[in-house]
Structure 1
């Protein structure tokens, strides 16, 4: 017998068009205006749902600004973000809690599979629980809510959508239930200006690594004038952590950066040689790539790229803080962004953070358009195969159309995302409604089904990415979301791609 509240929210998420990606935040002791301001919105700019939709129509698909709608349920204000994530961030939860009675909590899910319940009080994130793998906890007091978790079906237990357990936990804490027709109500909404990241991550506060004199100076003055010094210091952290700081080319580059000089152009060739020499050592290759970006890239975000995963915890924290300081300086110095002209053609999800993305992007750019299209279509098919969607009745015609270069036979994206809800995938796979599964599946069948549900959203985005009219952009975006679909096995996809297409 499942938890009644979790069963209720499971039905709600199955029926809700917003159920694929959302963040719902609960705060008490404040009004709409204070909640909107805490999220980075202007309370004076609150609009009706119809007016807000009209504003968003002026943006390219996938590039719409973050938005928020606000509901009042009992004593609680509820902030709802469709395909948004601000309420999952400590920076935002802290502001909301401070404007209210000191407590804020959120239930979050995105299309890439990240799914978390967050609880903040006392100006600290006390616990973050992974809905899918509830044994994964973080925060100041990860076990704080354990007494309230009994009977909640996290991790697809009882074939319940994991976020339903998160909403049931929120109900236990708040005492309020979200109405089934929540998003059909006339709720005020607002466009958000994103709240900047903290310069120091919440978990890094007070740690000795940040007492380093240079880091202290940068925190006190995160300005564009100091960005070159930040890039130099961070590049040395990476080279030392990768045990490459004795390589002559890196010695020369680091000395130039620390002297405020541009590294000599001929060092590029030596960097390429070093990159080839450490081939087979992915971490070493990534370290060389990041130092090269710090030395020669004109783009600030590239100069602080993060392909290399720093192993030493002190160096890692220092590198994170310096990157945040640099991006903060860049953001403050940038001119205001004007609203783009209305554009209707679909674009895609953000680029993957997988280390192969940057390396392959340069190779992709050298290919002919015909090859770019061919590889895009192959990647989309492999994404569908990895997600276990390729044998479904609705997917086969789409893959056949893809192979022929014909338009995809879908009326719109929403129609496809309804086909990959947990309930729809269970029925498509087993022939049974979700509520009739009971104990008819083996543990392996359940695990396979969970994996399919996790991977399906990015696979669907991947197939839509192939339709971009620009073959190069289609390939870049398709590769990024295919990597996300192969989460945990992305290296296999890269190996297969290289073997097939060179």
Structure 2
């Protein structure tokens, strides 16, 4: 039985950790069982960009895209690779400043017939999210452990307690909730994420376009002047 807890992921806070950039910049880490990295990137609508050897090269590619725009970035770099886990191979996808693993349309498609789990942070705003999808359905999601939604919001309560999260109220001050999110993802996937795994992975990369903003409904105003003529705008 997988017994991962927050203590197993204390390395993410180390000053020398390869993950420090993700905590500062924001990140999303997604795990999907039974699909290939290329399939995941295709479902996400990514333009394939080739491979990166190690997280250092991947971060360089991310920075190149980030600063390639004069104003707000219109895309982000996602990197994916295969890892062993519960029930077979999984694809791990990582982004810095991206949101692939938080878009419902992508996660529903990725999880059809299988399982998908993601956790994320937007860095400086201290907003952290966890998502568990099963066969195209959002089962449990939360920003704060005590405020869960989804079709089965309470199903992970026992696991949450075991990894160090409190689904009933205030969190323990001695538990790193971000490390606990890593541990909860491991409980659901069997994938142990280590610093060495991220540092040495062979990333297949793709450039994912930002999600377009929803268009507001237009409003037509009719104005009638003193001569009875109407103008619409």
1:362-373 correspondence to structure 2 within 5 Å = none
Give the Cα separation in 2 of the matches to 1:72 and 1:163: 23
Q: Is the 8 A contact 2:62 2:76 kept in 1?
A: no
Q: Classify the secondary structure of the residue corresponding to 1:231.
A: coil
Q: Check the 8 A contact 1:52/1:190 in 2, yes or no.
A: no
Cα pair distance change 1:76/1:4, threshold 3 Å: closer
CA distance in 1, matches of 2:164, 2:224: 59
What corresponds to 2:133 in structure 1? 120
Query: Following superposition of structure 1 onto structure 2, how do residues 61-76 of structure 1 map, counting pairs within 5 Å?
Result: 63=73, 65-74=75-84, 75-76=89-90
Alignment match, 1:322:
none
Residues 353-397 of structure 1: per-residue CA shift (max 9 Å, x gap) = xxxxxxxxxxxxxxxxxxxxxxxxxxxxxxxxxxxxxxxxxxxxx
1:53 Cα deviation after fit: 4.7
Q: Counterpart of 1:34?
A: 39
Counterpart position of 1:85? 99
Does structure 1 conserve the Cα–Cα contact (< 8 Å) formed by 2:79 and 2:93?
yes
Partner in structure 1 of residue 160 of structure 2: 149
Question: 2-side partners of 1:89 and 1:19: how far apart?
Answer: 20
CA distance in structure 2 between the aligned counterparts of 1:53 and 1:149, rounded to whole angstroms: 32
Q: 2:188 aligns with which of 164, 173, 177?
A: 173
Q: Provide structure 1 residue ranges, at least 5 long, that are not aligned to the other structure.
A: 200-223, 233-256, 266-294, 297-502
Give 1:444's aligned residue. Answer: none
TM-score by length of 2: 0.74
Is this contact kept in 1: 2:5–2:162, CA < 8 A?
Answer: no
CA distance in 2, matches of 1:146, 1:80: 26
- 1:190 pairs, out of 206, 209, 214, with 206
Per-residue CA deviation, residues 98-145 of structure 1 (Å, 9 max, x unaligned), is 3xx422110111121221110112322111022xx3110111221122
CA distance in 1, matches of 2:223, 2:175: 56
CA contact (8 A) 1:23 1:82 kept: yes
Please give the root-mean-square deviation of Cα atoms over the aligned residues, in Å. Answer: 3.0
Q: 1:61 to 1:82 in 2, by over 3 A?
A: farther
Alignment map for 1:406-485 (pairs within 5 Å): none
Structure whose residues are more often strand by fraction: 2
**1:5 touches 1:168 (CA, 8 Å); kept in 2?**
yes
The aligned counterpart of 1:300 is none
Structure 2 CA distance for aligned equivalents of residues 157 and 183 of structure 1? 28
| 1:5 matched to 2:5 | yes
CA–CA distance in structure 2, aligned partners of residues 114 and 53 of structure 1 = 21
Query: Given the alignment, which residue of 121, 135, 155 partners 1:109?
Result: 121
Question: 1 or 2 for the larger relative contact order (CA 8 Å, sep ≥6)?
Answer: 2
For residues 222-261 of structure 1, the aligned pairs below 5 Å read: 230-232=217-219, 257=220, 261=221
Which whole-Å deviations, capped at 9, do the CAs of 1:68-89 have from their partners, x for residues lacking one? 0112210110110112222012
- Gaps (5+ residues) in structure 2? 226-231
Paired residues, what number?
204
TM-score normalised by length of structure 1: 0.37
The superposition leaves residues 27-84 of structure 1 with CA deviations (integer Å, 9 ceiling, x where unpaired) of 01111111001222134x3342367357425334862622101122101101101122
